[in-house]
């Protein structure tokens, strides 16, 4: 199937080459990190009024750019030969609710374990703030169903990540790179929490402690370019 896109984002199928290749790269990274097994997991990236998304039944490690599907915001296939993922409704719902630039869903081991045994992934480490705080577990519903999409959207309120009961994990970001990084962070936090439970009762960070982390990061300019000091200027002349 080949059509021209009429509004928003790229206007011709050939202009989706960059988005398709970027999506393939993100899928390979997710697969390389061991966050998916077999045909589990799906990824998408938005450009204007259209979304490039992995096709149904795809193995992310073997995906090619030519296999990536392009859909509009109503879920209609506008370019590509393969049907989009069965979780398309979830992806589109997240885009509509959050204005995200990319969405990633996986069946990573630790995340799925926590999602199958707990109602929440609490803040056992301050890096959970990178996802908005504690991660909620969306109640179980059949994959690809409107009920599942609704449950996940509720769990995502005020967060950029959610766990899906007896299913897996989902995150969104402003870009593909950010979405993949958040998926990796979510899995790390789930693994950390699982190990804490194996040792004993995890200590959960309180609201005051988390607020202090935010304050410290803000005041120190953490993650931003450091301003040059007089000593730096003396060295550089």
Strand partners, 47: 50
Query: What are the residue numbers of the active site?
Result: 87
Which residues are within 8 A (CB) of 43 and not within 5 positions of it... i.e. 6 or more apart? Answer: 23, 26, 27, 30, 53, 54, 60, 102, 103, 104, 105, 176, 179
Q: In Å, how far from its chain's centre is CA 9?
A: 21
Strand partners, 168: 164
Q: In Å, how far from its chain's centre is CA 225?
A: 26
């Amino acid at each position: 199937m080949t059509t021209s896109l009429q509004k928003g984002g790229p206007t011709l199928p050939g202009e989706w080459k960059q988005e398709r290749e970027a999506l393939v790269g993100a899928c390979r990274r997710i697969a390389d990190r061991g966050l998916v097994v077999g045909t589990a997991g799906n990824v998408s990236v938005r450009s204007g009024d259209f979304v490039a998304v992995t096709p149904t039944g795809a193995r992310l490690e073997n995906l090619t750019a030519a296999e990536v599907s392009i859909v509009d915001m109503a879920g209609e296939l506008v370019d590509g030969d393969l049907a989009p993922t069965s979780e398309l409704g979830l992806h589109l719902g997240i885009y509509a609710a959050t204005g995200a630039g990319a969405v990633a869903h996986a069946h990573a081991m630790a995340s799925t374990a926590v999602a199958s045994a707990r109602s929440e992934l609490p803040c056992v480490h301050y890096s959970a703030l990178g996802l908005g705080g504690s991660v909620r577990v969306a109640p179980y519903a059949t994959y690809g169903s409107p009920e599942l999409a609704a449950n996940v959207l509720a769990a995502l309120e005020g967060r950029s990540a959610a766990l899906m009961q007896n299913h897996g994990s989902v995150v969104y970001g402003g870009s593909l790179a950010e979405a993949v990084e958040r998926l990796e962070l979510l899995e790390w936090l789930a693994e950390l929490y699982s190990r804490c439970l194996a040792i004993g009762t995890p200590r959960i960070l309180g609201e005051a402690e988390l607020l202090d982390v935010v304050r410290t990061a803000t005041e120190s300019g953490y993650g931003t370019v450091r301003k040059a000091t007089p000593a730096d200027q003396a060295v550089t002349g």
